[in-house]
Structure 1
Amino acid sequence: MNQTTSDKQTIVIKVGSTLIAPNGRVDRKTCLPAISSYINQCFEQGIRVVLVSSGSVAAGKHFFSNETPSAIEKKAMAATGQSEMIATWDSLLHKPCAQILLTQADLQERTRYTNIKSTVNQLLDNGIIPIVNENDAVTSGQFEVGDNDNLSAMIAACIHADTLIICTDIDGLYDKNPHTHDDAQLIKEVKTITPEILKMAGGSNSNVGTGGMITKLQAAQKATEHGIDTIIVNGKKKESFEALFEKVNPGTFFEAQGKPLQDQTHWLIHTSKAVGELIIKEEEDNKIAVNARNLDFRDIVEVNGEFAAGDTVLIKDVKGKKIAKATSLCSSCLLNFVNDHQDENTIMESALKQGPIIQKTELAIFAPTL
């Protein structure tokens, strides 16, 4: 571990449900004092901290009698538990706290995404700790991020954080499941997240949280590709946080990429969800058209999904290979109409006059491995 958070200006700390409310109630005594003490020390040393805190559903569970809650009951639990969770952090942290509840829709739309960055920085500039969580009380379907591991990486990228710390209930990434293999070895450092590394992640062993090790690796990949060092640590151990300040790696350290993705490209690949697909002809000329950012109506053979102009779409060839993600300048309705009338010269000539159908400045070409 070459750097620690002591050398950094802004860090994002993600704390999972298993640490906050392991038994359906907020646990103020086991893990939270050490985590909050670390955050307090960071601010004392001039390090800015954003806290991404899970636990609203778990914290609200004890207010409800149903042992197998429905989806809508879980939303009610989230609404109830969120206030208790915020109150707990507010009582443990030495700085005032601010609540930020987000959905995928907030991250999807560029203006709202930019507003998140501005609001978080304004809070930090005024010595206030932003506490971020997914808005589980209202979100569902395509507007759902799904887990706070990935949300924490999106927030870290959004605000250009230096370090992402993911607190969990084991020491880090192991080469095999440590719960079922006595010979499992902790991996101390990962320079590049390869397919082999991803295969090491098993499912979650907790019935409390929504993210297992795979979501933590996904988060680490998002963060490191934005130039953000990422550390998975055992949040149950006070020594983990002591080690961070002593410049000792207490878990698994993921090294930031030396050449991070540009902001717009990173947002398209890792944050914005594609709501539709454009299938292009399997010809070299069309792949060149994508790379040259001048894809037009003639290149499209199929349109999947319903989307509006300005939405993110996935571009694939006819064999299903992912080529790029882009912001569409046309709705699926218009694209389907023109595609259905390609033999009519007047309609095609009118369509071609509109120029490219993708936003040239908002296109991310996938690497061959994706």
Structure 2
Amino acid sequence: MSFKTWQRIVIKVGSALFAPNQNGCSSQYLLSIANFIVRCRLSGIQVVLVSSGSVGAGAHLFEESGEDNIVIKKAMAAAGQSEMMATWDRLFDFPTAQLLLTHGDLRNRDRYESIRNTIDTLLVNNILPIINENDAVTTDKLKVGDNDNLSAMVATAAKADSLIICSDIDGLFDANPHLNDQAKLLSDVYQINDDIYAMAGGATSSVGTGGMKTKIQAAEKAIAHGIDTFIVNGFKEQSFNSLLKDENPGTHFYPHKDPMHDGVHWMRHTTRAQGELIVSEDYEITANQLNDILDIDDLVSVKGNFSSGDTVLLRKHSGEKLAKVKTNYSSCLLNFIACSDNSSFSEELDKTDEPILSNQFIALMES
């Protein structure tokens, strides 16, 4: 995949680029990014922008630091969001649109499809979607937590060709380049494994919430969906000039040759298990099962609190994770079946047309 063949891309811009001093918005590093977006659009490439920066943009309006105060931080996000959008609007001579999302929006299939349709409609009408997590209202249970992973979820929802993640370094190095002068840049990554994650470390920006590890997580999500992914230095104008010349200025993560089915990818990489169903050790499951994928006799115990329609993790008592699936019954009802001697009730449940688990979007866990 190259610039000449791109049809739709997602570019993620972090807080360090948008509000480097947490003293309001700065166009210092945004001009080259905006120019890149303009040149892509002039070449017929549709662009979706995932932008952090609302907290940093609003921080200067508050006397109290929001570093250790989540309530203040949410207020900063609310105050800074409008300034963030106004800054982007000043850099473009075409219309933009704001989408504020939570993980709750993405993990609900109906809302996920609604997000996809909204992005499609905006792009068809030449409007630039600018997406951010809704930090002003989100809770721990509903938040993605970082815009690196959010950008990958958006890229899959938008059916993008490429995902470009801007960083404060040139890409993925085999050691921390801030601490090791001998660190070497990995230009091409064909498989994301434990060794790649070990290189990412746990460092985070002093301004943003995402470090290299979250960028690798995002790349893993995107390439599984067949999306070319780049980590580039967003502080360097040359990074974007290189991309426009079909040159790799950072680290290129190559997509899987056989991408996951869209629904299976959503189940594995976007939904979160709200609970667990523990099954017998001899229980097996395959992706091609079309009938009832869980018999009452196979259910050993239920963990967590979840509702009908939620995603749950299916695993054996030994700990082996089997799959993420959608449950047709609540944890309360399944606990009643699994933990009590309710043979007559179980017989009645067996007679219903609704199985315990849905066979839609079964995401088998990797061994």
For Structure 1 versus Structure 2, the TM-score category normalised by the shorter chain is over 0.9
Q: Which amino acid aligns with 2:345?
A: I
Q: TM-score, normalising length from structure 1? A: 0.95
The 1-side partners of 2:68 and 2:208 are apart by 15
Q: How far did residue 54 of structure 1 move?
A: 0.4
CA apart distance, 1:205: 4.1
Q: Distance in 2 between matches of 1:28 and 1:122?
A: 30
Q: Distance between the aligned counterparts of 1:211 and 1:318, measured in 2?
A: 34
- Which blocks of at least 5 consecutive residues in structure 1 are unaligned? none
Q: C-alpha deviations, 1:69-111, integer Å up to 9, x for none?
A: 5101100000011110100001102321100000011001111
Q: d(CA) in 1 for partners of 2:8 and 2:94?
A: 16
Checking the alignment, whether the CA contact within 8 Å between 2:10 and 2:163 is kept in structure 1 is yes
Q: How does 1:44-123 map to 2 (within 5 A)?
A: 44-67=42-65, 68-123=67-122
- Displacement of 1:288 in angstroms is 4.0
Distance 2:179 2:93 in 1: 40
1:42 partner amino acid: C
> 1 CA distance for matches of 2:22 and 2:90?
19
Q: Offset of 1:280 from its aligned partner?
A: 0.8
Given that 1:6 and 1:42 are in contact with CA atoms closer than 8 Å, whether structure 2 keeps it comes out as no
Contact persistence 1:280–1:299 (CA under 8 A): yes
| Partner Cα separation in structure 1 for residue 317 and residue 68 of structure 2 | 42
Q: Distance in 1 between matches of 2:346 and 2:68?
A: 53
Q: Which residues in structure 2 correspond to 1:299-318 (within 5 Å)?
A: 299-318=298-317
Aligned-residue offset at 1:6: 3.3
In 2, are the aligned partners of 1:203 and 1:212 still within 8 Å (CA)? yes
The corresponding residue for 1:10 is 8
Match of 1:36 in 2: 34
Under a length normalisation based on structure 2, what TM-score does the superposition of the two structures give? 0.96
> What does 1:265-276 correspond to in 2, within 5 Å?
265-276=264-275
Q: Which amino acid aligns with 1:229?
A: D
Separation (CA, whole Å) in 2 of partners of 1:44 and 1:288: 49
Residue 168 of structure 1 deviates from its aligned partner by: 1.1
Q: Counterpart amino acid of 1:133?
A: N
Instruction: Tell me the distance in 1 between the aligned counterparts of 2:255 and 2:69.
Output: 40
RMSD across aligned C-alpha pairs, in angstroms?
1.4
Q: Which amino acid aligns with 1:206?
A: S
SS at structure 2 position matched to 1:198: helix
1:290-313: CA deviations, max 9, x gaps? Answer: 873521221111111111111000
Number of residue pairs matched by the alignment: 363
Partner of 1:223: 222
Equivalent pair of 1:268/1:325 in contact (CA under 8 Å): yes
Q: How much has 1:353 moved relative to structure 2?
A: 2.1
**Cα distance between partner residues in 2 of 1:5 and 1:318:** 49
Whichever residue aligns with residue 42 of structure 2, its letter is E
Aligned AA (2:355): P
Identity %: 51
Q: Could you give the per-residue CA deviations for residues 253-288 of structure 1, whole angstroms, max 9, x where no partner exists?
A: 0001110000111000000111111111111xx114
